Chains A and B, each alone.
Chain A
Amino acid sequence: MHAVRIITLGSHPRDVSLDALCRGLEDVLPVACSIEPIPLDIDHARDPSRQQYHSTQLLASLVALKSNGESRVLGITPYDLFIPVLTFVFGQAQLNNRAALFSTFRLHNEFYGMPHAPALLAERCLKEGLHELGHTFGLRHCLELPCVMNSSTYVEDIDLKPADFCLPCREHLRLVC
């Protein structure tokens, strides 16, 4: 059983229940989650010209955190993330390593001019959390559509895939977890 520490980055994401996220992650992955009460300061990663936060720098901040015995740390932020070449990223993770993070900024339906949908937001958060944690357990993007490790560049891609792993990815997790 892997201990996962969940930490908010900058501030608590709006309309997101971290407790529900923990339960969802624990249902699918062999992990035990804990929630860090105080958000991590992320001002250093802000790019004023882009009005976004540098995802790789945030990942480095998570890596630098002193471990409390957990094997994985998952950051969640309400702010929009980018890496230098790309306009945005939903999240980022260290492949086969400790840290992962994702943003709820583009997971809200309102971002796309759609009605507020809290259940859909919770589902998207769970899928992003599973996806990024999957990378930390050594999983790469999966070519199978019905797998949470399938790559998503649109929010619709996230909605299409299930909050679960395909059999080969599940088998990989069974071997490494």
Chain B
Amino acid sequence: MTAFDPSEITIMIVDDELSVRQSLEAWFQDDGYTMVTAENAAEALKRMQNQHIDIILLDIKMPGMDGLALQDRIREFNKDVIIIIITAFATVDTAVRALKAGAFDYTTKPVDPDELSLLVRNAVDRIRLQRENVALRESIDHLQYVDDIIGESPQMQKVFELVKTVAPTDSTVLILGESGTGKELIARAIHMNSTRKYFPIIPVNCGAIPESLMESELFGHEKGAFTGAQYRRKGKLEMARGGTLFLDEIGTLGLKSQVDLLRVLEDHEFHRVGGERSVKADFRLICATNVNLSEAVKSGDFREDLYYRINVFTITLPSLRERQADIPLLAKHFLEKHRTSMNRKVEAISPEAMAVLKSYDWPGNVRELVNAIERAVVINKSGTITPDDLPMQIASRPVEAHGEQTLADVERRHIESMLADNEWNISRTAEKLHIDRVTLYNKIEKYGLKRP
């Protein structure tokens, strides 16, 4: 279990008596919890609209909607918040009703300080377990993602070797590669094979966040730091504590954010926006980009000092067209994955469809292949994916557009494709090509084609 920071738990006291609210607020503030108060049900509901509450200490007798009715209302939209009933007018009936309706516990005023501390400690333990459970489930999802890294090609074997080498170190890693080549998967693979694997990996898509919001997004902010900052919010750097921060599309990071990031990497600490207290930075940094950073440095769009900071260990991912040999393996893997998740009886990819997949140059890389297979699984009715199930731009792509442009190359590809379509039946293929069988045998020999 990670280190516990009480300020991460928000407790709301709902009681119509000012003295009760004030004294309980002060009591729990001494423990470091973040406190909120409400004097009636309406105010409590309003507070819950605006901010996340973990624990509610709820009085039963209040003017207007009473505590039990408020609990029922809260349960309609929030099943997670922990409600502890504290009442001066305890009856067995109300206690049973409150607990049946989902109250975590029930106690009477005045309550013994030790009992109240224990009640809240138990509630906090449950919240910690809930959070840990969510984190573990996310970790499992991440592990599944890691399974998606597939490749027997020499290029991918080299990538795997690099991942294996760098993962156990705490070194900063820069992942280069075209869009859709799986940079985030590689980042997750590094994280999952590192000593930080039990802590989160926090991805930040730098290209998707406006520069004006980046500072608050990365560093978090204190309550009241700017208009609209109604409560304290953790930034990505803080969320990645103990784990890995993955900055995707780092080439799009604005110059001011570059300076801020550089400072954190040098000082190993940062301040939340509007905050005075420095927060210790404890994360491993993995960056990814599909732009040429050294060119960006030359043009002044990327700081040279930051470039050298992040360019410690580089992994370059090959595009899918550079590793065509992996396409059948990948296609079968994603077919299996989508078939299972959609519960569809699509068992295979026809040789024709596979030939189409192999001959396409995949500008969108693995991501495009995943989408093509997913689409095919959705629309397929026969149980075997055919070229008709593939997206138009893939299925209709002329063969001669691929690879080398010589006549011999086109002929080789076409014969290969026709053989695959006809399951290497020489007579049928020759007939369709309008050539005799001897000529076809000669061409197979000439181009070194082999039955798969």
Q: Which residue numbers of A lie inside 8 Å of B, CB to CB?
A: 50, 54-56, 82-89, 92-93, 95, 135, 140-141, 143, 151, 153-154
Contacts and interface: CB of A to CB of B under 8 A. Distances in A.
Given A92-B26, A143-B4, A153-B117, A85 B31 contact: no
Contact of A86 (B4, B31, B112): B112
A55 B31 CA distance: 18
Interface in B106-144: 109-114, 116-117
Dominant secondary structure at the A interface: loop
Given A85-B24, A153-B117, A95 B29 contact: yes
Nearest to B20: A84
10 smallest A-B Cβ distances: which pairs?
A: A83-B23, A153-B114, A140-B32, A153-B113, A87-B110, A141-B31, A84-B20, A84-B19, A87-B112, A86-B113
Interface in B8-39: 17, 19-20, 22-24, 26-27, 29-32
Interface in B81-119: 86, 109-114, 116-117
Dominant secondary structure at the B interface: helix
Contacts of A154: 114
B1 to A, nearest CB: 13
A87 B22 contact: no
Contact of A56 (B26, B30, B86, B113): B26
Given A56-B19, A56-B23, A151-B117, A86 B29 contact: no
Given A56-B19, A56-B22, A56-B23, A85 B30 contact: no
Interface in B164-211: none
Contacts of A88: 113
Given A56-B22, A95-B26, A82 B32 contact: no
Contact of B110 (A86, A95, A135, A141): A86
A113 B32 CA distance: 34
Contacts of A95: 26, 29-30
B109 A84 contact: yes
Interface residues of B, number: 23
Interface string B202-238: 0000000000000000000000000000000000000
A145 to B, nearest CB: 14
Nearest to A54: B19
B32 A86 contact: no
Nearest to A153: B114
B345 to A, nearest CB: 56
A54 B32 CA distance: 23
Given A95-B30, A141-B31, A85 B109 contact: yes
A140 B31 CA distance: 6
B23 A151 contact: no
B28 to A, nearest CB: 10
Contacts of A135: 30
Given A56-B19, A140-B32, A141-B32, A86 B116 contact: yes
A97 B117 CA distance: 24
A141 B30 contact: yes
Given A83-B23, A85-B27, A153-B114, 4 more contacts: A83-B19, A135-B30, A140-B31, A141-B30
Contact of B30 (A55, A84, A140): A140
B378 to A, nearest CB: 53
A83 B266 CA distance: 48
B117 A85 contact: no
A162 B17 CA distance: 37
A79 B114 CA distance: 20
A55 B26 CA distance: 12
Contacts of B23: 55-56, 83-86
A54 B26 CA distance: 14
A85 B22 contact: no
Nearest to A149: B30
B125 to A, nearest CB: 14
B280 to A, nearest CB: 12
B186 to A, nearest CB: 38
Contact of A87 (B17, B86, B113): B113
